[in-house]
A and B are shown apart, each in its own frame.
Chain A
Amino acid sequence: EAGVAQSPRYKIIEKRQSVAFWCNPISGHATLYWYQQILGQGPKLLIQFQNNGVVDDSQLPKDRFSAERLKGVDSTLKIQPAKLEDSAVYLCASTPWGNEQFFGPGTRLTVL
């Protein structure tokens, strides 16, 4: 069974530029999560989708971050404009109707 796919794996941009990350969850998984992991910390939830609807985006900085999951399958997370403090690993996870979450390899973002 294929795991959660993410791209790109690495991205370097300058502050105030925009960037987008893509995630394809495990086939059949209805719930998709985006987490941000700052160096030296545990991951923290940015947004949770159930099919193509948002369940929880309370920790998403909506002035610069946006995310969508239009067809209830893959998802895109965008940052515009990026700040230095957005340097982090962005992790996508998915789960079926059950509870156990499975994570993708992550996208490492560096903002200069």
Chain B
Amino acid sequence: GIQVEQSPPDLILQEGANSTLRCNFSDSVNNLQWFHQNPWGQLINLFYIPSGTKQNGRLSATTVATERYSLLYISSSQTTDSGVYFCAVGSEYGNKLVFGAGTILRVKS
């Protein structure tokens, strides 16, 4: 099955810093989503981005499907950005998501 690798596994930032999270996947996909899991365990949808670039406030994401990777950019980080960021991909329309192991982000004030 499809493999998903996220890097880095852990990241500690000072408030106000920028960061880039990476997601590599092993096969072609027609679904790619980025999630933020908050301390209560809720998965918050950040981006649905099987290809191209999107921006939402301080967050943006780019997926280069032909090279099988996606990047999540966080600018001017805030303490509320702390949590686990997951990349998840689907290889068939409407099919299950395969998740990476996540990146644990800690933003210090």
Q: Which residues in chain A, 22-63, are within 8 Å of chain B measured between CB atoms?
A: 31, 33, 35, 37, 41-45, 48, 50, 56
Question: Known: A42-B88, A45-B97, A106-B41. Is A99-B102 also a contact (CB below 8 A)?
Answer: no
- What chain A residues lie within 8 Å of B97 (beta carbons)? 33, 35, 43, 45, 93, 101
The CA of A93 and the CA of B33, in the complex, are separated in Å by: 13
Taking the complex as formed, is A67 at the interface, i.e. its CB lies under 8 A from any CB of chain B?
no
> Taking the complex as formed, is A103 at the interface, i.e. its CB lies under 8 A from any CB of chain B?
yes
Of A37, A41, A56, A97, the contact of B96 (CB 8 Å cutoff): A56
Question: Which 7 A-B residue pairs are closest in the complex by CB-CB distance?
Answer: A42-B99, A45-B96, A103-B43, A100-B48, A99-B31, A106-B41, A105-B42
A46 to chain B minimum Cβ distance, whole angstroms, is: 10
Which of the residues B48, B94, B99, B100 comes within 8 Å of A31, measured between beta carbons?
B94
Q: Which residues of A contact B (CB under 8 A)?
A: 31, 33, 35, 37, 41-45, 48, 50, 56, 89, 91, 93, 95, 97-103, 105-106, 108
Indicate which residue in B45, B86, B96 contacts A102 across the interface (CB closer than 8 Å).
B45
Q: Are A99 and B94 in contact (CB under 8 A)?
A: yes
Return the chain B residue nearest A89 by Cβ.
Answer: B41
Max chain B C-beta neighbours (<10 A), residue from A31, A43, A89:
A43
Contact of B94 among A35, A95, A105, A106 (CB under 8 A): A95
